[in-house]
Structure 1
Amino acid sequence: MKATAAATASAMALCSCGTSSAFTTHTSFSRVSAPRNAVGRASAKGMLRPRTLNMAVAIPRAVSVEAAPPATIDMEGVQLSGLNGLALKPKTFPTKREVMDVIPKHCFVKDTVRSMKYAVLSCAITLSMGGLAAAFLPLKLAMLPAWIAYAVACGTAATGAWVVAHECGHGAFSDNRKLQDAVGYVLHSALLVPYFSWQRSHAVHHAHTNHMEKGETHVPEMVSHKGFGLQKQRKLFRTVLGKKLGTVAYGVTQMFNHLVVGWPAYLLFGATGGPSRGITSHFFPHPPFSTGEKGTDLYPGKWKKKVWLSDVGVAGMIAGLVAWASKAGAMQVAALYGGPLMVVNAWLVLITWLQHTDVDVPHFEADNWNFIKGALHTVDRPYGKVLDFLHHRIGSTHVAHHVDCTIPHYHALEATNAIKEAFPEHYLYDPTPLPQATWRLATQCAGVEKRGDMHVFVTKE
């Protein structure tokens, strides 16, 4: 388990900080006491003292490169969301240290028992729904509407278990790393997610949020430029598709591609990933799914072994499903497990899509990007009480999660309110109802153009 703990430490450091090529040794920082900040709260992380860890990427926690505020951009073809252009307004960004200092210190404290209760709760709700469906819903065509309703309800609940495993991957579940990885590994494997593989790729996503070249997932294509690598081919496909289908059919196609095909395509081939890493796979960490080059290889060094370990978990779950189908029939497995799993996958993509994409949410190239700037271009959305309860507020407190991914979800609302109060010009919250926001993304967010020092989604007639 020493190796898994090292993997978790590496991923935690990567997702909670920005990158810096000036650091050639593997360094993280430990916490010491610090004075109270200007608004009267104790510093969340305190002053920083270096300590050495065996990490895949060297990241100093308190460093945030200053970026000049953007000039006013050309708004032709640029629409506005419920943010009303807030993300496009010229502004100077705070450092990560300044943002962290406004978050109450106790928001970073992990309670293992409390975290485990949430894991048990999500699993209990999901399994209870499955048990009721197995007992009372016959496998008949006439019951198809009821089975669809079950899939939506059970899959929505099961997303909560997925979120708990996601917290394990971030190191937000417990200070006991062995327990944390064990819980995350079991829960993610049960949902056919390669735990350590995704832990690493998701950490890269956090480290390069809204980065045009190094971003991981939902990196947009450029509509009036040759693009970067594979983005050119994706852009051409979308342009032709959009012209042939029209707005409505194109939007429906985009929703299908994202919500049905998107998650498997990302795990298998790195769909919507940044161009710097090319085609990647969460199951096979070698060429042709790996650059083999330092700095661009998604799974460098010891992470390759973690990919294979992740494969074992997924393969074990598949073997269990095959055994179940051999005894009870494939139809029962598809109805009780397959339907809810598709809904879980759809939720994962939808939540991430909404967090990092909208008509007036820009992306940046390397010379105008830093970690906190990327994190503060994450968007919180209104999910309502039921979804916030089932999904542990993953969609409504995601800005705070990107500022520091080790904040447990049960402290995220308090951290969010602190950030919102201290940085109202930087905190992004779009009140647009989810269905309307999703349709806007599907129909209007096909590609970006460079406007000034940022890349913005544009509508082309």
Structure 2
Amino acid sequence: MACRLADSMFLSLGPHQNPIRSQRIGTHYSSGICYLKWDSLPQKGIKRQRFLTRRNWTTVAKAVAIPVAPSSPDNAEYRKQLSESYGFKQIGEPLPDNVTLKHVIDTLPKKVFEIDDVKAWKSVLISATSYAFGLYMISKAPWYLLPLAWAWTGTAVTGFFVIGHDCAHKSFSRNKLVEDIVGTLAFLPLIYPYEPWRFKHDRHHAKTNMLIEDTAWQPIAKEEFDSSPLFRQAIMYGYGPFRPWMSIAHWLLVHFDLKTFRPSEVKRVKISLACVFAFMGIGWPLIVFKTGILGWVKFWLMPFLGYHFWMSTFTMVHHTAPHIPFKSADEWNAAQAQLNGTVHCDYPQWIETLCHDINVHIPHHISPRIPSYNLRAAHKSLQENWGKYLNEATWNWRLMKTILTVCHVYDKEQNYVAFDQLAPGESHPIKFLKKVMPDYA
């Protein structure tokens, strides 16, 4: 039984519960061990006891009948238990406040920033040939093998996105015109407007995990959640079972509205939108003319959905976990957000190869100017110099279950509150996921 104190709140650690932090004393319960959290006292356990009155210590001794250890991010055993509960290999120690992003960048080898034209165009060749092979498989596969062909092709076309991603960060070529042309062409099969995405994505890097300002996915605000029953139901499905495809909504809502861009950006945005609409106006009719409506579904729509599965999954894994906070602008720290608030996740090798190591993501957030083919070397350097601060995982069901069933509504004290905690009678999508999703790491 978890211990209870008069001024504390109960916590059951696991993929279905989020840490609840009290203002003064909090109890944490995991694997039969009860921890005390002393937020307002010094970090070292021995020193803390000097601040306790005899009366307070007596209260604690009566409430806790088993050994007590500090349940803070500074405690290695506690972080290890959180890692196992959430599906991580490692949850990093908190980064000291005096560490800046420049400190981290200065430890990286200079060679990881170098652009190699051969390696850059090799990535284009890998994506083009793997995508062509995927289309060939779709054309030849019997119906029962089509899902495998779609999975391969959707993953291969994700590689095109990564190439455009490098172009947007000016890490593909020394020739900026070449980068803009390659980036625009790479995004066309995805119906993604290159310039609008680039402008929004630059803000994501500048404001990573900053409330309101980060242009990638954010926790739902409590005010939004309470705004209307219809929106509440929609968002429960969107951040629950449909979250692996929520990037489709993000794509539609964020990248096509000219009013959301600065006046200096509008001209380039219009050029990108014209390219996308031209591809739709010419490419789609040609596909239908050659293969019919079902052919359009087979050769374009299904790989497109496969791409968005990876786009959504990669994005939410990169910056979403119960222990990773979103901060307001006045509390935000760049080094903590980029090094401590970004997740490295290993996927099967064929996915890593087709997607050009985009999930070696921490060095990319330390400096977006690192080309994708140098990310592994940069990550090795970060492990050597900053390894204890890194969040690392191997993709697994428990990790996904944690994100889909816990990381929902923003709370300053807890980071996230799950939908089923706020509206237990309405959160059927979340309860469904808890029942059907595997829980192994």
| Unaligned residue ranges in structure 2 (runs of 5+) | 1-41, 44-69, 74-80, 425-441
Q: Deviations over 1:187-236 (max 9, x none)?
A: 1012111000001111111111010121112111244xx4xxx5764899
Whether 1:283 and 2:256 are equivalent positions in the alignment is yes
Q: Determine helix, strand or coil for the equivalent of 1:107.
A: helix
Q: CA deviation at 1:331?
A: 1.0
Whether 1:201 and 2:178 are equivalent positions in the alignment is no
Pick from 135, 138, 145: which aligns with 1:133? 138
C-alpha distance in 1 between matches for 2:104 and 2:225: 33
Q: Determine helix, strand or coil for the equivalent of 1:424.
A: helix
C-alpha distance in 2 between matches for 1:222 and 1:265: 18
Structure-2 change in CA distance of 1:410 and 1:456 (3 Å): same
Q: CA deviation at 1:346?
A: 1.2
Q: In the TM superposition, what are the counterparts of 1:397-436 in structure 2 within 5 Å? A: 397-431=360-394, 433-436=395-398
Pick from 244, 253, 272: which aligns with 1:310? 272
- Number of corresponding residues: 342
Are the counterparts in 1 of residues 93 and 389 from structure 2 also a CA contact under 8 Å? no
Structure-2 change in CA distance of 1:144 and 1:439 (3 Å): farther
Q: Could you tell me which residue of structure 2 aligns to residue 389 of structure 1? A: 353
Are the counterparts in 2 of residues 83 and 360 from structure 1 also a CA contact under 8 Å? no
Are the counterparts in 2 of residues 165 and 187 from structure 1 also a CA contact under 8 Å? yes
Q: CA deviation at 1:326?
A: 2.6
Q: Deviations over 1:382-409 (max 9, x none)?
A: 21322211111111x1010011111011
Structure-2 change in CA distance of 1:110 and 1:234 (3 Å): farther
Are the counterparts in 1 of residues 137 and 149 from structure 2 also a CA contact under 8 Å? no
Are the counterparts in 2 of residues 197 and 282 from structure 1 also a CA contact under 8 Å? yes
Q: Could you tell me which residue of structure 1 aligns to residue 399 of structure 2? A: 437
Whether 1:268 and 2:268 are equivalent positions in the alignment is no
Structure-2 change in CA distance of 1:423 and 1:74 (3 Å): closer
Whether 1:170 and 2:180 are equivalent positions in the alignment is no
Q: Could you tell me which residue of structure 1 aligns to residue 416 of structure 2? A: 457
C-alpha distance in 2 between matches for 1:350 and 1:187: 20
Are the counterparts in 2 of residues 222 and 235 from structure 1 also a CA contact under 8 Å? no
C-alpha distance in 2 between matches for 1:88 and 1:237: 37
Whether 1:122 and 2:122 are equivalent positions in the alignment is no
Structure-2 change in CA distance of 1:327 and 1:129 (3 Å): closer
Are the counterparts in 1 of residues 190 and 304 from structure 2 also a CA contact under 8 Å? yes
Given residue 244 of structure 2, which amino acid in structure 1 is its aligned partner? Answer: L
Q: Determine helix, strand or coil for the equivalent of 2:316.
A: helix
Percent identical among aligned pairs is 24
Q: In the TM superposition, what are the counterparts of 1:42-441 in structure 2 within 5 Å? A: 81-83=86-88, 86=91, 89=94, 91-92=96-97, 94-134=99-139, 136-137=140-141, 143-223=142-222, 226=223, 230=224, 233=227, 237-238=231-232, 254-260=239-245, 262-269=246-253, 281-286=254-259, 290=260, 299-319=261-281, 320-376=283-339, 377-395=341-359, 397-431=360-394, 433-441=395-403
Given residue 219 of structure 1, which amino acid in structure 2 is its aligned partner? Answer: Q
Q: Deviations over 1:4-59 (max 9, x none)?
A: xxxxxxxxxxxxxxxxxxxxxxxxxxxxxxxxxxxxxxxxxxxxxxxxxxxxxxxx
C-alpha distance in 1 between matches for 2:415 and 2:192: 32
Structure showing greater radius of gyration is 2
C-alpha distance in 2 between matches for 1:429 and 1:375: 14
C-alpha distance in 2 between matches for 1:104 and 1:90: 21
Q: CA deviation at 1:131?
A: 2.0
Are the counterparts in 1 of residues 138 and 150 from structure 2 also a CA contact under 8 Å? no
Q: CA deviation at 1:347?
A: 0.5
Q: Deviations over 1:71-130 (max 9, x none)?
A: 89999xx96524589457473351121111111001000012220111111111111221
Q: Deviations over 1:414-446 (max 9, x none)?
A: 111111221123222134x33321121111112
| Unaligned residue ranges in structure 1 (runs of 5+) | 1-69, 138-142, 243-249, 270-280, 291-298
Q: CA deviation at 1:457?
A: 2.0
C-alpha distance in 2 between matches for 1:90 and 1:265: 34
Structure-2 change in CA distance of 1:125 and 1:85 (3 Å): closer
C-alpha distance in 1 between matches for 2:200 and 2:193: 11
Are the counterparts in 1 of residues 188 and 276 from structure 2 also a CA contact under 8 Å? yes
Given residue 284 of structure 1, which amino acid in structure 2 is its aligned partner? Answer: D
Q: Determine helix, strand or coil for the equivalent of 1:429.
A: strand
**Bigger share in helix:** 2
Structure-2 change in CA distance of 1:102 and 1:231 (3 Å): farther
Are the counterparts in 2 of residues 87 and 361 from structure 1 also a CA contact under 8 Å? no
Structure-2 change in CA distance of 1:235 and 1:99 (3 Å): farther
CA RMSD of aligned residues (A): 2.8
TM-score (normalised: structure 2): 0.71
Structure-2 change in CA distance of 1:300 and 1:92 (3 Å): same
